[in-house]
Chain A
Amino acid sequence: MANKKWPEDWQDVTPGCIVFEPGSASQYHTGSWRAQKPIWDNTKCIKCGVCYIYCPEGCIIEREDGFFEANLDYCKGCGICAHECWPLAIKMVEEG
């Protein structure tokens, strides 16, 4: 495994658990914690970017067409984007 998530054994733990690979936290997909996911209704979205600004995970991206979507590898389903979206374009739906 090139990028294994955890050291196999305790002997493989680096001294002080120091991480030498910058940005390696991105290998940990926190999206697995999610119970609900945000769904955008782009007929209501006015492309204001409030969801993008408020997302605490920084996982909402602006697409080329100016609409927004969440990277579900990291979205924890907190619902802040839906709460802040004043045109009510975002709905939180249960994960199947």
Chain B
Amino acid sequence: MGIRKGMEIALAAAEAVALCRPDVVAAYPITPNTHIPEHLSDIVAEGRLDAEFICVESEHSALSACMGASGAGARVFTATSSQGLLYMAEIMSIASSMRLPVVMALGNRALSGPLNIWNDHSDIMSQRDTGWISLFAAHGQEVIDMMIQAFKIAENRDVMLPINVNLDGFQLTHVVEVMDFPTQEEVDEFLPVYKPFASLHPDHPCSMGTLGLPEIYSEATRAREAAVVNSKKTILKVWDEWEKRFGRKYEPIQSYKMKGAEIAMLTMGSMGETAEVAIDALREKGVPIGLLKLVLWRPFPYEELKKAVKGVKSLIVMDRCVSFGGPGGPVASEIRSALYNEAGCPDITNYIFGLGGRDVAVEDFIKMIDQVRLADKKRPKEHYEFYGVRGE
């Protein structure tokens, strides 16, 4: 049985990573993820974890060091946020193209400028198309669980891809929650020692990160796309095993009170927790509404989404990111595109809100839902709407 204790979620994430016995941790501190690598360096210094903690000079180096170590057969971990992720941008796509199972904790934070250290999803959305698997945690327990699941998914021979676990900056990283920690024995049983598909060893020479001329680049990219798409099978298997071992269920889209729902709200990350309370209040008033929490962002769960919105007439998609001059927030754009050819596709409203740490309360969710369900149907609808921004 696991150990139940209260802890700041960033520290809990570090404890969960330590349970996975990484060989190399390379990270550069940046708010709000800082406590994760900081606490891991403490764990290494205390001798609780036999790992190489590399104090790199930048995020570019952090990811590069992780990739080098991963290429040499090590289990690796890094963590970052916002501008740090952008500094890794040059390397992000190379990690997935080289099929190196780097695990990253991403404490989501708004991109500058204006300079802002608080939460939204603009950092990860800028790196959406780099071939990484992306998971979104809604609360501390999911952060712990996903950190451990991430190694098992990434290192699976059918996957061999880097993975980022997204946890909202401050809303999750700096919040103290009571969580269940698996024991070392339980994690050791769940997560076998990493056996790389190939590693840089003089006895078995190989070249990694090679040049791809026009004659091969398209095929290499197609193969990587197939790897990302196929990774869903392994993700589902790992989640299935997790539920059997630890009793906590994970799904690409988690449904909350969706039975008989005609209106649904779709959220990602920590806002799902607040939205649940709003859904409860509206359900009590008899509003047929439910909540869909998108957990698996990449690979995108098309089938699960189509199934989840069956019977839903109105879908409200919440975005914590702007696609400037685009057709809506990145999440809504994808949902629209995924459902476009579906018979009975729900009417989709897109709210952009909670940017740069702007607090969103239960009443805000209720207000947004009421705006949609009580709207004048004759009024032409915008592709997207900002919520909670001052000014007409």
Given known A-B contacts A10-B223, A10-B226, A22-B205, A17 and B210 have beta carbons under 8 A apart: yes
Q: Is A9 touching B219 in the complex (CB atoms < 8 A)?
A: yes
A80 to B348, CA, bound (A): 63
CB of B227 closer than 8 Å to a CB of A: yes
Q: Chain B contacts of A16 at CB under 8 A?
A: 97-100, 160, 198, 208
Q: Which residue of B lies closest to A20 (CB)?
A: B206
Given known A-B contacts A6-B216, A7-B216, A10-B219, A15 and B197 have beta carbons under 8 A apart: yes
A33 to B322, CA, bound (A): 46
Count of chain B residues near A, Cβ 8 A: 23
CB of B378 closer than 8 Å to a CB of A: no
Given known A-B contacts A6-B215, A6-B216, A18 and B207 have beta carbons under 8 A apart: yes
Q: Which residue of B lies closest to A15 (CB)?
A: B99
A39 to B208, CA, bound (A): 37
Q: Shortest Cβ distance from B61 into chain A, in angstroms? A: 21
Q: Is A17 touching B160 in the complex (CB atoms < 8 A)?
A: no
CB of B390 closer than 8 Å to a CB of A: no
CB of A13 closer than 8 Å to a CB of B: yes
Q: Is B219 touching A20 in the complex (CB atoms < 8 A)?
A: no
Q: Is B208 touching A18 in the complex (CB atoms < 8 A)?
A: yes
CB of B212 closer than 8 Å to a CB of A: yes
Interface centre among B207, B215, B226, by most A CB within 10 Å?
B207
A12 to B220, CA, bound (A): 9
Contact with B along A45-80 (1 / 0, CB 8 A): 000000000000000000000000000000000000
Q: Chain B contacts of A15 at CB under 8 A?
A: 99, 160, 197-198, 223, 227
CB of B259 closer than 8 Å to a CB of A: no
Q: Chain B contacts of A22 at CB under 8 A?
A: 205, 207
Q: Is B227 touching A18 in the complex (CB atoms < 8 A)?
A: no
CB of B222 closer than 8 Å to a CB of A: yes
A44 to B197, CA, bound (A): 55
Q: Which of B98, B205, B207, B220 contacts A13 (CB 8 A)?
A: B220
CB of A11 closer than 8 Å to a CB of B: yes
Q: Shortest Cβ distance from A3 into chain B, in angstroms? A: 15
Q: Shortest Cβ distance from B93 into chain A, in angstroms? A: 12
Q: Which residue of B lies closest to A28 (CB)?
A: B213
CB of A93 closer than 8 Å to a CB of B: no
Q: Chain B contacts of A10 at CB under 8 A?
A: 218-220, 222-223, 226
Q: Chain A contacts of B216 at CB under 8 A?
A: 6-7, 13, 17
CB of A88 closer than 8 Å to a CB of B: no
CB of A19 closer than 8 Å to a CB of B: yes
Q: Which residue of A lies closest to B222 (CB)?
A: A10
* Chain B positions near chain A (C-beta within 8 angstroms): 97-100, 160, 197-198, 204-208, 210, 212, 215-216, 218-220, 222-223, 226-227
Known: A16-B160, A18-B198, A19-B206. 20 other contacts (CB 8 A): A5-B215, A10-B218, A10-B223, A13-B219, A15-B99, A15-B160, A16-B98, A16-B99, A16-B100, A16-B198, A17-B98, A17-B210, A18-B99, A18-B197, A18-B207, A18-B208, A19-B207, A20-B198, A20-B206, A22-B207
Q: What are 16 of the A-B contact pairs (CB < 8 Å)? A: A5-B215, A6-B215, A6-B219, A10-B218, A10-B220, A11-B223, A12-B219, A13-B223, A15-B99, A15-B227, A17-B98, A17-B210, A17-B212, A17-B220, A18-B99, A19-B207
